[in-house]
Each structure stands twice: as C-alpha cells, then as structure tokens.
C-alpha cells in the first residue's frame, strides 16, 4: 500500500524516460511526487509533466554537485513534508565511450560515468536516510542493466559504472536496513528512451532480444515501472536486482 506516501523521482528528461513511467505508476497508486531534473534545458518539460499529475515540486539537481544535492533535498523535504520513496534513474557516459573499445576510455570519462551513474545513488541515499528514518523507514529503487554483469559490446564504461551501482545498492541495503530502509534495483532490457535511441545500433539490440529472450519480445518503460513499484512496496525485499528483460538474462546463448 503506497497510498499517501511521499516520493522523489530523479531522472525524468521527457515523457519517454523510465523515470516518468515510474512516476505515472506511483501517481496511480496515490503517491505524492517531487522531481529533480538536470539543467535549465529540461525544466519546462519536467514542470509540465509534473503538473499533469498534480505535482509542482520540481527542483534542479545536477548529481555531480554536493551543493545541488543538499539544496534539492532541503527543498523536497520541505515541499513534500518528508520522504518515503526514492527513485534513482540517472546515468551518463560520454557519447564517444558508447562505441569502440572500452580500453580507450580516458581517466576523466571513466570517473564521469561512475560519478553520475553510480556514486549519485549513494549521495542521494545519504541525504534520504534521515528523512526516511524520521518516518519509520523507506524504500529506494535504482535502474541498472545487464551490461554491468556481463560484456555487452559498446556498453563499455557504462558497464563498469553499472557494476559499481549494483554493488553500491547492496552495501546501501546493508547500511540502511537497520533504519528500515530497503534498497533494490530493476535491471531493464533495452527500452527506446531518447537516450537509448541516440545510440548507434540500438535497433539491432532490440532485434536480438526478440530472437533470443525466452518471451521473444521487447519490454517497455511501463513494464519497468510496474516492477519498480513492486520493489518500492515489497516488505522484506532488499539488496536485490529484479530483471525486467523478457528473461534475456537467463540465456547462455
């Protein structure tokens, strides 16, 4: 029962974002929502989307900045009147690193991908902890991908960042469990978000899923959202990854 819970969703860029699908699903459950977005360029879109589900708590937050995170969590705690749920749906690697060889990743771009795509979960969890603990507990969900566990050609440094994210999720689950805060991840198959569509060869990845996944089809953002909502609400489930990939991860060939 999520009715009346207070949620922060980080990672909405547009209506195709996985984060937006999760927000819509939470709204349908009677959850009150707040949003963070990156950069002025996204403000109008995110504000309009939020307004469409009756939310006006929309604050900028570049997850690379501790000052941004401090200010955003302050504004959100005030605006919502507390925090129960956190949806982390943020990732970035330099476009040039999602092609060619992983070995060519520079030191700077390696840390950029890990900073935005992995450390940000810990940075947000740290700020969410006191707010959630004050309400008797909470639940955090992040978005990961199989490329953090196995080699997916061209996922490259994002794979290393997702491996870091997955391990961070488990350590956070251990740290926050005593405060009755659960931390889990959804591992989604390829979804045609704007970010994904800009990746060369994305179409052939969805073809491969259709051929090889047990269910012989691709997934969409609303499938991911349904499992995210389940994890946000699932008593005694923490430190785990739920795969929403039509079973693709189970195959060895």
Q: Is 185 in the site for ligand 0WE (CB under 6 A)?
A: no
Q: Is 42 in the site for ligand 0WE (CB under 6 A)?
A: no
Q: Is 198 in the site for ligand 0WE (CB under 6 A)?
A: yes
- Spatial contact of 98 and 155, defined as CB atoms under 8 Å apart: yes
Asked if 171 is an active-site residue, the reply is no
Q: Is 141 in the site for ligand NAD (CB under 6 A)?
A: no
Q: Report the partner that residue 75 touches, choosing among ligand NAD, ligand 0WE, none (CB closer than 5 to 8 A by kind).
A: none
| Cβ-count burial 123-144 (b if 16+ within 10 Å, e if not) | bbbebbbebbbeeeebbbbbbb
Q: Report the partner that residue 90 touches, choosing among ligand 0WE, ligand NAD, none (CB closer than 5 to 8 A by kind).
A: ligand NAD
Asked if 145 is an active-site residue, the reply is yes
Residue among 89, 118, 238, 85 nearest 173 (CA): 238
- Closest to ligand NAD by CB, 144 vs 238, is 144
**CA 225 – CA 223 distance, rounded (Å):** 5
Element (H, E) at 172: helix 156-176
What sign has the CA pseudo-torsion 33, 131, 12, 146? negative
Of 50, 76, 116, 131, the residue at the interface with ligand NAD (CB under 6 A) is 116
| SS3 call for 38 | coil
Contacting residues toward ligand 0WE, per CB under 6 A: 91-93, 95, 98, 145, 152, 154-155, 158, 190, 195-196, 198-199, 205
**What residues line the site for ligand NAD (CB under 6 A)?**
11-13, 17-19, 38, 42, 62-64, 89-92, 116, 143, 145, 188, 190-191, 193-196
């Amino acid at each position: 029962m999520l009715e009346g819970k207070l949620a922060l969703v980080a990672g909405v860029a547009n209506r195709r974002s996985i984060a937006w699908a999760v927000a819509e699903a939470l709204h349908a459950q009677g959850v009150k929502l707040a949003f963070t977005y990156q950069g002025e360029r996204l403000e109008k879109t995110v504000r309009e989307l939020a307004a469409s589900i009756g939310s006006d708590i929309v604050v900028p937050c570049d997850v690379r900045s501790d000052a941004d995170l401090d200010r955003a969590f302050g504004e959100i705690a005030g605006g919502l009147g507390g925090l129960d749920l956190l949806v982390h749906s943020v990732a970035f690697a330099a476009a040039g690193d999602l092609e060619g060889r992983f070995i060519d990743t520079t030191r700077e771009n390696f840390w950029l991908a890990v900073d935005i795509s992995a450390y940000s979960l810990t940075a947000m969890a740290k700020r969410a902890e006191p707010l959630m603990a004050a309400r008797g507990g909470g639940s955090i969900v992040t978005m990961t991908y199989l490329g953090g566990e196995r080699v997916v050609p061209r996922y490259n440094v994002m794979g290393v960042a997702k491996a870091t994210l997955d391990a961070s999720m488990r350590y956070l689950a251990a740290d926050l469990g005593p405060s009755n805060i659960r931390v889990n991840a959804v591992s989604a198959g390829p979804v045609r978000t704007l970010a994904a569509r800009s990746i060369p060869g994305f179409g052939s990845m969805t073809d491969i899923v259709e051929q090889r996944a047990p269910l012989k089809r691709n997934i969409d953002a609303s499938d991911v959202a349904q499992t995210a909502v389940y994890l946000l609400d699932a008593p005694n489930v923490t430190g785990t990854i739920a795969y929403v990939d039509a079973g693709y991860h189970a195959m060895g060939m």
